[in-house]
């Protein structure tokens, strides 16, 4: 049983740099230095971001000699999508139309009761 709270996907993708990293390695695994080349910040900074991304399962590391290739495991993001999708009925245009219809019916019922 690990004491430390597992990193959370929502928080992981909250940082713009981490989203950029995800975007970079989504297409192709890259080692740490290659990733760093695409940013202005230091290698240790990138290393720490990668650590966070691995801790919540978005990235997995494949060691190859002294290099560590970062591979995106983006199905983890479904946790976020799932959370959002449960609310889709509340902003889906089709639902809104239905909603308006139901409200109308409801209003009519109220009028009838009066």
Binding mask 45-84 for a second copy (x = CB under 8 A): ---------------------------xxxx-xx-xx-xx
Cα dist from 48 to 26, 27, 64, 90, 100, whole Å:
18, 21, 19, 37, 49
Q: Does 23 sit near DNA (CB under 7 A)? A: no
Binding mask 66-105 for DNA (x = CB under 7 A): xxxx------------------------------------
30, 72 contact by CB (below 8 A): no
Q: Could you say which of 3, 66, 91, 112 contacts a second copy (CB under 8 A)?
A: 91
> Tokens 């900074």 appear where?
45
């Amino acid at each position: 049983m690990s004491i430390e709270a597992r990193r959370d996907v929502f928080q992981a993708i909250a940082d713009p740099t981490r989203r950029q990293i995800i975007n970079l390695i989504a297409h192709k695994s890259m080692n740490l230095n290659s990733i760093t080349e695409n940013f202005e910040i230091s290698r240790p900074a990138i290393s720490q971001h990668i650590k966070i991304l691995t801790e919540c399962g978005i990235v997995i590391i494949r060691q190859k000699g002294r290099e560590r290739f970062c591979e995106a495991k983006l199905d983890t993001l479904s946790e976020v999508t799932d959370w959002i999708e449960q609310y889709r009925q509340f902003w889906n245009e089709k639902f809104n139309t239905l909603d308006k219809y139901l409200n109308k019916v409801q209003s009519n019922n109220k009028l009838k009761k009066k």
